[in-house]
Amino acid sequence: MVRWGILGTGGIARVFADSLSRADSATLAGVASRDGDRAAAFVAPYPGAEAFGTYDDLLASPSIDVVYVATPQHRHADDALAVIGSGKHALIEKPLVLDSGSALAIDTAARDAGVIALEGMWTLFNPLVGRALDEVASGRLGALTSFSANTGPIGVPAGHRALTAELGASLLWECLVYPVAVLTAIAPEFATPNHIHAVSLMREKDFDFASAVLLATGTAFAQFGGAFSEGAGAAASSRVQLGFENGWMELTEIYNPSTLRIGWSDGRVEEHIADSDAVAFGYEIDAVSRAVSGVEALPDRVRLAQTIRNIALLEAIRAEALRLS
């Protein structure tokens, strides 16, 4: 059993802890909060999990193998380096960090410490995404011609972390990191496109509230975008659609796709539905647990080298964006 610790007790930490409690290969060993009572309340439903009143206390514990960093993005770099410095493996929520320099520092530190560090881009662990990638790699659909994705209008309560500039708020880094990850996994040449066009509706410096992006290589284009919707309810559905020389592909939902449809040039449409027992973070937890126990290496698409390229692309998009205020 791989023993997991969690830094932070917010929304996604709860979903992750629930997935951990159902995993075969892993167990929730500890949770750290900046507040000891909050940590104690968090672990109450999980017998055997220890509560830590500081992040440092969890990192000092010999009973934890791998740490899931579930803090706001403005502190991912420092938290990740602290985990690595403690000699533990690190799974850091998306976006890994907010700049390339920090991503490279994490890579160097992880190599030096001999631990695994990666971004928790759960979409890339989804078996339907894996299936889509295998299909593209087989060449049967021919070359990619177009990629289109929207992340929907994302309903976020007023005052939420995702709308707080000091905590790293940005639609690009919060949400458009998903289409960037899927796009470059399918077509790595898009990591350094020939053309970048983007428009961002800015709230504050580096805080885009809405963004639209158009990228082009010599033979294909990709478009994706979305917007926050302050105070509104749950997000409308998202979608990824890809055109190829010999057909098309569609993933319903970009975050955790449940259906993959493939349309072939002879008129056939193939549909793959996710296993109904699929647990939110289960695939990611299993893959990382197998990797840290040396059972099976992580696929290239989730490795840090790929994430570093994606962060550089997000930086380039931000630099090129026409800013509207």
- List of residues contacting ligand NAP (CB under 6 A): 8-13, 33-35, 38, 70-73, 75, 93-94, 122, 161, 167, 174, 255
Given the complex with ligand NAP, which of 144 and 171 has the nearer CB atom?
171
Other beta carbons within 10 Å of 298: 17
Q: How far is the CB of 30 from ligand NAP (least distance, A)?
A: 13
Residues listed for the chain: 325
Given the complex with ligand NAP, which of 2 and 97 has the nearer CB atom?
97
R_g of the chain, CA atoms, integer Å: 20
Given the complex with ligand NAP, which of 65 and 284 has the nearer CB atom?
284
Given the complex with ligand NAP, which of 75 and 272 has the nearer CB atom?
75
C-alpha span between 1 and 223 (Å, rounded): 42
Q: How far is the CB of 131 from ligand NAP (least distance, A)?
A: 20
Given the complex with ligand NAP, which of 61 and 71 has the nearer CB atom?
71
Place of tokens 């009143």: 53
C-alpha span between 61 and 1 (Å, rounded): 17
Q: How far is the CB of 119 from ligand NAP (least distance, A)?
A: 10
Q: How far is the CB of 209 from ligand NAP (least distance, A)?
A: 16
Given the complex with ligand NAP, which of 179 and 193 has the nearer CB atom?
179
Q: How far is the CB of 246 from ligand NAP (least distance, A)?
A: 33
Residue type, 217: T
The SS3 of residue 148 is: strand
Beta bridge partners of 49: none
Name the nearest CA neighbour of 322 among 211, 183, 156: 211
Given the complex with ligand NAP, which of 177 and 313 has the nearer CB atom?
177
DSSP 227-294: EEEET--SPPPPEEEEEETTEEEEEE-SSS--EEEEEETTS-EEEEE--TT--TTHHHHHHHHHHHTT
The SS3 of residue 114 is: coil
Name the nearest CA neighbour of 64 among 75, 76, 55: 55
Q: How far is the CB of 34 from ligand NAP (least distance, A)?
A: 4
Q: Report which residue's Cβ sits closest to ligand NAP.
A: 10
Q: How far is the CB of 10 from ligand NAP (least distance, A)?
A: 2
Peptide linkage before 95 cis (omega within 30 of 0): yes
